[in-house]
Amino acid sequence: MRPFGVFALLGLLGPAAALAQGLVGPETCKACHPQAYEAWRETAHARASEAVPDKSRADPRCGSCHSPDLERGVSGVSCEACHGPGQFYAASHVMRDRELSRLVGLVDPGERTCLRCHNESTPSLERFDYLRRLSFIEHGGDHPRPTKKPGAGEPPRPPSPGVP
């Protein structure tokens, strides 16, 4: 994409993308990413809302991590809880353009994304270890596994070649 085109698009979509709360749901993601969808369905994230005891399901402290998009009809921790609302990036012509998809809201999640929920203030039997737990959320081999813990200020890890 030419620099002028990026700036023009930012001027038009930037404010809308920043405020985007439009979820498309995991079924929409499945259309282009069936392997990732099927792998996700087998994870604890897909069933995260089931892990909350009935008496705690109405507690926003639990729901904010176990079902962050429940008010929008999405149970568990789905694609957009980590990758951002897909309203502006889910279209196939946008997803084919790595720069554009990120410009309009696609997030490349990393350790900081996980730490929004997996931190010292959440109930857990053990301390969260990003590199050790990463294998539990890999979905369909979409992204390479980091070999070292990212340092402060390091750019996010890029996806595999050919994967938006």
Per-residue pLDDT of 59-85, as tens digits, reads 999 999 999 999 888 899 999 999 999
Q: How far apart are CA 156 and CA 115, in angstroms?
A: 15
Phi, psi of 2 (to 5 degrees): -70, 150
pLDDT digits (tens, 9 = 90+) for 108-142: 999 999 999 999 888 777 889 999 998 888 876 55
Picking from 54, 83, 82, 57, the residue whose alpha carbon sits closest to that of residue 70 is: 57
- DSSP secondary-structure letter at 65? H
Does 89 map to a domain? yes
Q: How many Å from the N-terminal Cα to the C-terminal Cα in the chain?
A: 15
- Total domains in the chain come to 1
Does 7 map to a domain? no
- The structure's pTM equals 0.70
The CATH number of the domain holding residue 56 is 1.10.1130.10
Does 160 map to a domain? no
Does 8 map to a domain? no
What residues make up the domain containing 115?
Answer: 22-136
